[in-house]
Amino acid sequence: MSIDAVLGDLTTEPADALVNAANSTLLGGGGVDGALHAAAGPALLAACRRIRKQQWPDGLPVGEAVATEAGNLSARWVIHTVGPNRNRGQDDEGLLANCYTRCLDVATELGATTIAFPAIGAGAYGWDAPTAARVAVDAVVSHPRSGIHRARFVLFSQRLYDAFAAELARL
Ligand code: AR6
């Protein structure tokens, strides 16, 4: 599996599966979540509502992941995950790592061969760039081999890109 990082917008990234840094409600929000919903159109929200109704009535737990269709996005699937909210005292790096691991599990189950991640938790949820990057890269690198050929981190700021590039350079 190749792992790399680019500076850019996740919504236009060509990949089978795009990961959404969502919240437990799965009903949208700001940041990358808002951008993905805006680009995907109402089909994504409708799919999220079905997941809430049928699978996670109390909301998606922190560190868990679930896939939906991707609406108007060019990806086939959106995989929604919920990072720990550091601003609310949720500072367990293991839970942040679980987000990446569970997304890779779900992507593998779907048969995806390429996946693109944002820097989960590094926006509204308050994780600093070096920690967000270290946890993300460690989690993806240590995931058992799967059918995924390429995992890409798509970073929205130079600061985050630099943090991820530094972690990847250490491999
Ligand atoms: N492409 C790639 N990265 C992006 C994009 C984009 N289009 N837009 C923002 N980012 P955040 P979190 C970056 O806040 O910290 C939402 O409201 C952003 O610059 O999106 O996990 C949810 O509904 C940052 O580096 O996710 C939740 O309530 C990174 O994506 C909450 O925010 C993650 O920032 C989740 O917070």
What CATH number is given to the structural domain containing 14? 3.40.220.10
Catalytic residues: 33
| Contact of 117 with 100, CB cutoff 8 Å | yes
Per the prediction, the chain carries an average pLDDT of 98
What mean pLDDT is predicted for residues 33-59? Answer: 98
Helix (H) or strand (E) holding 164, with range, is helix 158-169
What mean pLDDT is predicted for residues 81-88? Answer: 98
Q: What is the pTM of this model?
A: 0.99
Q: What is the pLDDT of residues 100-136, one digit of tens each?
A: 999 999 999 999 999 999 999 999 999 999 999 999 9
Using a 6 Å CB cutoff, which residues line ligand 1?
9-11, 21-23, 29-33, 35, 83, 118-125, 154, 156-157, 160
Return the best residue to mutate from 12, 32, 152 for the ligand 1 pocket (most ligand atoms within 8 A of CB): 32
- Domain span including residue 60: 2-169
pLDDT score of 37: 98
What mean pLDDT is predicted for residues 163-167? Answer: 98
Q: Dihedral (C-alpha) 13, 131, 87, 115: value to the nearest 10 degrees? A: 20
Q: What is the pLDDT of residues 142-162, one digit of tens each?
A: 998 779 999 999 999 999 999
Structural domains counted in the chain: 1
